[in-house]
Protein backbone atom coordinates (compact mmCIF):
# COMPACT_ATOMS: atom_id res chain seq x y z
CA UNK A 1 0.00 0.00 0.00
CA UNK A 2 1.16 3.52 -0.82
CA UNK A 3 2.26 5.51 2.21
CA UNK A 4 1.44 9.23 2.32
CA UNK A 5 4.98 10.20 1.43
CA UNK A 6 6.27 7.42 -0.83
CA UNK A 7 7.37 8.35 -4.33
CA UNK A 8 5.57 7.90 -7.61
CA UNK A 9 6.47 8.52 -11.25
CA UNK A 10 3.85 11.18 -11.92
CA UNK A 11 4.85 11.70 -15.56
CA UNK A 12 4.15 8.05 -16.38
CA UNK A 13 0.72 8.42 -14.76
CA UNK A 14 -0.01 11.67 -16.61
CA UNK A 15 1.08 10.11 -19.91
CA UNK A 16 -1.12 7.07 -19.30
CA UNK A 17 -4.18 9.35 -19.28
CA UNK A 18 -3.22 12.38 -21.38
CA UNK A 19 -1.31 12.02 -24.66
CA UNK A 20 1.73 14.33 -24.71
CA UNK A 21 0.87 15.51 -28.23
CA UNK A 22 -2.72 16.44 -27.32
CA UNK A 23 -4.26 19.87 -26.84
CA UNK A 24 -5.32 18.79 -23.35
CA UNK A 25 -1.68 18.13 -22.43
CA UNK A 26 -0.68 21.60 -23.67
CA UNK A 27 -3.08 23.08 -21.10
CA UNK A 28 -2.66 20.50 -18.32
CA UNK A 29 1.12 20.45 -18.07
CA UNK A 30 1.80 24.20 -17.77
CA UNK A 31 -1.03 24.53 -15.25
CA UNK A 32 0.19 21.78 -12.94
CA UNK A 33 3.82 22.92 -13.22
CA UNK A 34 2.87 26.46 -12.15
CA UNK A 35 0.76 25.15 -9.25
CA UNK A 36 3.58 22.80 -8.21
CA UNK A 37 6.16 25.60 -8.31
CA UNK A 38 4.07 27.88 -6.09
CA UNK A 39 3.18 25.05 -3.69
CA UNK A 40 6.86 24.10 -3.33
CA UNK A 41 7.87 27.74 -2.75
CA UNK A 42 5.39 27.93 0.11
CA UNK A 43 6.42 24.55 1.52
CA UNK A 44 10.11 25.43 1.49
CA UNK A 45 9.37 28.78 3.09
CA UNK A 46 7.48 27.01 5.85
CA UNK A 47 10.34 24.57 6.36
CA UNK A 48 8.32 21.43 5.63
CA UNK A 49 10.15 18.11 5.57
CA UNK A 50 11.76 16.60 2.47
CA UNK A 51 9.03 13.93 2.53
CA UNK A 52 6.30 16.58 2.51
CA UNK A 53 8.01 18.46 -0.32
CA UNK A 54 8.16 15.29 -2.43
CA UNK A 55 4.52 14.49 -1.73
CA UNK A 56 3.47 18.06 -2.61
CA UNK A 57 5.41 17.85 -5.88
CA UNK A 58 3.72 14.59 -6.84
CA UNK A 59 0.20 15.49 -5.71
CA UNK A 60 0.32 18.95 -7.31
CA UNK A 61 1.43 17.45 -10.63
CA UNK A 62 -1.50 15.01 -10.47
CA UNK A 63 -4.22 17.14 -8.83
CA UNK A 64 -6.17 17.79 -12.07
CA UNK A 65 -5.85 14.34 -13.69
CA UNK A 66 -9.64 13.95 -13.43
CA UNK A 67 -10.18 16.54 -16.18
CA UNK A 68 -9.92 13.69 -18.67
CA UNK A 69 -13.35 12.48 -17.52
CA UNK A 70 -15.17 15.80 -18.03
CA UNK A 71 -16.61 17.53 -21.06
CA UNK A 72 -14.65 20.72 -21.53
CA UNK A 73 -13.97 21.90 -25.08
CA UNK A 74 -11.64 24.61 -23.75
CA UNK A 75 -9.47 21.82 -22.29
CA UNK A 76 -9.92 19.50 -25.24
CA UNK A 77 -11.66 16.87 -23.12
CA UNK A 78 -14.72 15.01 -24.32
CA UNK A 79 -15.84 13.08 -21.25
CA UNK A 80 -19.47 12.88 -20.25
CA UNK A 81 -19.31 14.67 -16.90
CA UNK A 82 -19.50 18.37 -15.97
CA UNK A 83 -16.28 20.10 -14.88
CA UNK A 84 -17.26 20.10 -11.18
CA UNK A 85 -16.71 16.32 -11.26
CA UNK A 86 -13.00 16.52 -12.12
CA UNK A 87 -11.84 16.44 -8.50
CA UNK A 88 -13.83 13.36 -7.58
CA UNK A 89 -12.85 11.67 -10.86
CA UNK A 90 -9.21 12.43 -10.06
CA UNK A 91 -9.66 10.69 -6.73
CA UNK A 92 -11.04 7.60 -8.48
CA UNK A 93 -8.14 7.54 -10.96
CA UNK A 94 -5.44 8.04 -8.34
CA UNK A 95 -6.94 5.47 -5.97
CA UNK A 96 -6.85 2.98 -8.87
CA UNK A 97 -3.16 3.93 -9.31
CA UNK A 98 -2.54 3.00 -5.67
CA UNK A 99 -2.12 6.60 -4.50
CA UNK A 100 -4.79 7.17 -1.83
CA UNK A 101 -3.23 10.31 -0.30
CA UNK A 102 -2.69 11.90 -3.73
CA UNK A 103 -6.31 10.97 -4.50
CA UNK A 104 -7.54 13.04 -1.55
CA UNK A 105 -5.67 16.09 -2.87
CA UNK A 106 -7.36 15.64 -6.26
CA UNK A 107 -10.81 15.43 -4.69
CA UNK A 108 -10.36 18.25 -2.17
CA UNK A 109 -8.56 20.91 -4.25
CA UNK A 110 -11.53 22.58 -5.99
CA UNK A 111 -11.73 26.22 -4.89
CA UNK A 112 -11.15 26.23 -1.14
CA UNK A 113 -13.01 22.92 -0.96
CA UNK A 114 -16.64 21.89 -1.15
CA UNK A 115 -18.62 20.91 1.95
CA UNK A 116 -21.23 18.16 2.03
CA UNK A 117 -23.80 20.87 2.82
CA UNK A 118 -22.82 22.86 -0.31
CA UNK A 119 -23.03 19.70 -2.43
CA UNK A 120 -26.55 19.01 -1.16
CA UNK A 121 -27.76 22.63 -1.33
CA UNK A 122 -26.47 23.13 -4.87
CA UNK A 123 -27.47 19.63 -5.98
CA UNK A 124 -23.95 19.05 -7.34
CA UNK A 125 -23.41 15.79 -9.28
CA UNK A 126 -20.66 14.55 -6.94
CA UNK A 127 -20.76 12.27 -3.88
CA UNK A 128 -22.37 13.84 -0.82
CA UNK A 129 -19.39 14.12 1.50
CA UNK A 130 -17.03 16.86 2.63
CA UNK A 131 -14.36 17.55 0.03
CA UNK A 132 -12.35 19.99 2.13
CA UNK A 133 -8.58 20.25 2.40
CA UNK A 134 -7.47 18.86 5.75
CA UNK A 135 -3.70 18.33 5.76
CA UNK A 136 -1.22 21.18 5.38
CA UNK A 137 -0.14 19.66 2.04
CA UNK A 138 -3.75 19.64 0.76
CA UNK A 139 -4.26 23.24 1.85
CA UNK A 140 -1.03 24.45 0.21
CA UNK A 141 -1.84 22.79 -3.13
CA UNK A 142 -5.44 24.06 -3.07
CA UNK A 143 -4.22 27.57 -2.31
CA UNK A 144 -1.57 27.50 -5.07
CA UNK A 145 -4.13 26.19 -7.58
CA UNK A 146 -6.37 29.23 -7.06
CA UNK A 147 -3.75 31.47 -8.66
CA UNK A 148 -3.61 29.75 -12.06
CA UNK A 149 -6.24 29.61 -14.76
CA UNK A 150 -6.39 26.95 -17.44
CA UNK A 151 -7.46 29.60 -19.96
CA UNK A 152 -4.58 29.87 -22.48
CA UNK A 153 -4.57 33.68 -22.54
CA UNK A 154 -4.18 33.86 -18.75
CA UNK A 155 -2.38 30.62 -18.03
CA UNK A 156 1.05 32.12 -17.33
CA UNK A 157 -0.17 35.00 -15.16
CA UNK A 158 -0.78 34.79 -11.42
CA UNK A 159 -4.33 35.76 -10.51
CA UNK A 160 -4.56 38.63 -8.06
CA UNK A 161 -5.84 37.85 -4.56
CA UNK A 162 -8.69 40.35 -5.03
CA UNK A 163 -9.80 38.56 -8.22
CA UNK A 164 -9.71 35.19 -6.46
CA UNK A 165 -11.82 36.62 -3.65
CA UNK A 166 -14.34 38.03 -6.14
CA UNK A 167 -14.62 34.64 -7.84
CA UNK A 168 -15.01 32.80 -4.53
CA UNK A 169 -17.62 35.33 -3.28
CA UNK A 170 -20.21 33.86 -5.63
CA UNK A 171 -20.02 30.67 -3.53
CA UNK A 172 -20.35 32.47 -0.18
CA UNK A 173 -18.43 34.67 2.20
CA UNK A 174 -17.21 31.61 4.11
CA UNK A 175 -15.20 30.71 1.00
CA UNK A 176 -13.65 34.19 0.90
CA UNK A 177 -12.87 34.03 4.63
CA UNK A 178 -11.06 30.70 4.23
CA UNK A 179 -9.06 32.03 1.28
CA UNK A 180 -8.04 35.07 3.35
CA UNK A 181 -6.95 32.77 6.16
CA UNK A 182 -4.83 30.73 3.74
CA UNK A 183 -3.48 33.89 2.11
CA UNK A 184 -2.32 35.21 5.48
CA UNK A 185 -0.66 31.88 6.27
CA UNK A 186 0.87 31.04 2.86
CA UNK A 187 1.04 34.26 0.83
CA UNK A 188 4.12 35.55 2.63
CA UNK A 189 6.21 32.70 1.21
CA UNK A 190 5.72 33.47 -2.48
CA UNK A 191 7.25 36.19 -4.64
Segment 53-70 mean pLDDT:
98
Taking the C-alpha atoms of residue 72 and residue 113, their distance in angstroms, rounded to an integer, is: 21
pLDDT of 2 over the 50 cut = no
Task: Tell whether 50 is covered by a domain.
Answer: yes
Q: Identify the DSSP state of 157.
A: S
Taking the C-alpha atoms of residue 29 and residue 38, their distance in angstroms, rounded to an integer, is: 14
Task: Tell whether 26 is covered by a domain.
Answer: yes
- Residue 30 neighbours by CB distance under 10 Å: 15
Tell me the DSSP string of 41-83: HHHHHHT--HHHHHHHHHHHHHTTGGGGGBEEGGGTEE-SB-G
Q: What percentage of the chain reaches a pLDDT higher than 70?
A: 96
CATH of the domain at 37: 1.10.3210
Q: At what angle do helices 50-62 and 136-145 cross, to 10 degrees?
A: 40
**pLDDT, position 3:** 43
Q: Identify the DSSP state of 85.
A: G
Segment 128-141 mean pLDDT:
97
Task: Tell whether 4 is covered by a domain.
Answer: no
- Distance from the first to the final alpha carbon of the chain: 37
Task: Tell whether 85 is covered by a domain.
Answer: yes
Computed over every residue of the chain, the mean pLDDT equals: 94
pTM of the model: 0.94
Task: Tell whether 3 is covered by a domain.
Answer: no
Which stretches within the chain are classed as H helix? Answer: 10-17, 23-46, 50-62, 86-96, 100-108, 116-121, 136-145, 161-169, 173-186
Task: Tell whether 2 is covered by a domain.
Answer: no
Task: Tell whether 90 is covered by a domain.
Answer: yes
**pLDDT, position 153:** 82
Task: Tell whether 1 is covered by a domain.
Answer: no
- For 182, the domain range is 10-189
Q: Judge whether 90 and 62 are in contact, CB under 8 Å.
A: yes
Upper half-sphere CA count for residue 94 (Cβ side, 13 Å) = 32
Q: What percentage of the chain reaches a pLDDT higher than 90?
A: 90
How many domains is the chain built from?
1
Amino acid sequence: MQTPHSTCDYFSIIHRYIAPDSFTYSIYLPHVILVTHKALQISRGMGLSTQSLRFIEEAAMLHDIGVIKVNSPKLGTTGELPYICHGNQGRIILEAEGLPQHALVAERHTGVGISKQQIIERNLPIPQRDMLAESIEEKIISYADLFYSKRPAQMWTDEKAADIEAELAQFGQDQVALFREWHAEFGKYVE
